[in-house]
Amino acid sequence: MDNLYQNLNPETSSKAETPFSTAGLEGLAAKELIRRGNLRVEKCELRDAGAYFALALERAKADGDYRGMSDALAQLLRHSSEIGDEAGIQKWVSELEIFVAQHSGNLSPQAWYCKGIVAFRNARYRKAQVLFHRFWREVEAEENAVKNMTPELYREFMRSKAQALLSLSLVAQAQGKLGRARYLGEVILAYAERERPRGILSSTYLMLCRLAERSGDLELAKKRLQRAFAESVSDHNWYHYLYVLYGFAVIARQEQDFVQARFYLDLLEKAVVQEELKNLRLGIAEERMKLNLNRVDLEIDLNRSLVRTREGEINLRRQHVLVEILRQLALAHGREQGDGRQGLSKEEIVEKVWKVKYNPDADDGRLYYNINRIRKLIEPDPRKPQYLLNWRQGYRLAPELKVRMIEGENT
């Protein structure tokens, strides 16, 4: 994990501060510039990626390369959307309109994909669906017109088809048509696992994870994420890896494993320091807000004798007295007493836990001893307790804590 963090965190890389240079790029065609730009995206170097895509558009215009212009515009639209550059989006939408008007008879399939991106971003899902279907048909028509298919050209056509299906699946998901989205995702997966086009497989696993999560199948969602994790690491695609971490944070929250959810979000916040990753930063902030709303500060799992705090998990197996003390305090915490209190006196704790009549001389010592044992286990600083507080003639859990107790099938 540390090695991955070093790859993700630009503060650990001198390349992150190196200004973009066009030296050595003079003779490169738009296709190669786009390829290099996409490699920068995988490394989360989005500023350089945008510069490569913009240079690719200029190069394609100079060369009269209509396909290169379409491809570059598609990348620039996606890039501007990811970094939240509204001015950039409007600029490239205008460029796209001019391009379509000027080259209506020579449009490459990618032009329809560009228009689909714009429609999808504006939540015009029906129009986006039509445009992505058009993209698919145009790719298929080009493929059928090729007489001598090379392996490289075949992979390019198949990748474009997978891109079309992935886009259609995302549209179906946005429309709430989860069955159709899942079917399209499985079709892409069958192809991508066989042909392994760069970037498509991890994108597909991430999309299928989201579908499983929305359907409430968190186990399947985790399996999809694990595969996306493996693919992103194998490809050194740190951009997808960040979204894998985000997916794990979301699922951990839904499973009410708030310690793990915070761990993933903390890791993401350390890694995502680039201003360009605006969409992901907004997603992290939103997920942090949901986590704070749903958080549990202290969870007592009686089934497994585990206690989870904001700081971590504590195993209390074979320490039944400590578990029972926490159980009784949690029960008191969860109900208003007649005098408005939510704690227990020493007498009440002794009688509930040890089932004997309270005798201060015999019982105070062992109660203090066990209270101190609990504090040493769950408190960040036992001298300044945050969870288990002294209260009147006894003890209570801190009033502001959100406490959950798991016992049998009930919580």
The answer on pLDDT for 392 being more than 50 is yes
For residue 15, what pLDDT is reported?
43
CA distance 66 to 60: 7
pLDDT tier for residue 3 given thresholds of 50, 70 and 90 = very low
The whole-angstrom separation of Cα 27 and Cα 22 is 10
What CATH architecture is 2-294? Alpha Horseshoe (1.25)
Task: Provide mean pLDDT across the span 198-226.
Answer: 92
Domain with CATH 1.25.40.10 in the chain: 2-294
Q: What pLDDT digit, counting tens, does each position of 336-391 carry?
A: 554 556 899 999 999 999 999 999 999 999 999 999 999 999 999 999 999 999 98
Question: Quick one: pLDDT at residue 384?
Answer: 93
Q: What is the 3-state secondary structure (H, E, C) of 383-403?
A: CCCCCEEEECCEEEECCCCCE
**What letter does residue 295 receive in the DSSP assignment?**
-
Q: What's the token pair of residue 273? A: 């320091």
* pTM for the whole structure: 0.70
- Report whether pLDDT(160) > 70: yes
- CATH architecture of the domain formed by 298-406: Orthogonal Bundle (1.10)
Residue type at 252 in one-letter notation? A
pLDDT band at 105 (very low <50, low <70, confident <90, very high): confident
pLDDT at 273: 79
Q: How confident is the model at residue 14 (pLDDT cuts 50, 70, 90)?
A: very low
Boundaries of CATH 1.10.10.10 in the chain? 298-406
Reported residue count of the chain is 411
Q: What share of the chain is helix, strand, coil (3-state, %, to 5)?
A: 70, 5, 25
pLDDT digits (tens, 9 = 90+) for 68-78: 998 999 999 98
Helix (H) or strand (E) holding 405: strand 403-406
Give exposure, 107-132, as e/b (b: 16+ Cβ within 10 Å).
bbbbbbbbbbbbbbeeeebebbbbbb
Mean pLDDT of 252-262: 85
Query: Which residues are CB-contacts of 68 (< 8 A; sequence separation ≥ 6)?
Result: 29, 30, 31, 34, 56, 57, 59, 60
| Mean pLDDT, all residues of the chain | 87
Give the span between the Cα atoms of 6 and 12, in whole angstroms: 6
Of the pLDDT bands very low, low, confident and very high (cuts 50, 70, 90), residue 312 is confident
Question: Does the pLDDT of residue 1 top 50, yes or no?
Answer: no
- Cβ-based burial of 20 (10 A; exposed 0-12, middle 13-18, buried ≥19): middle
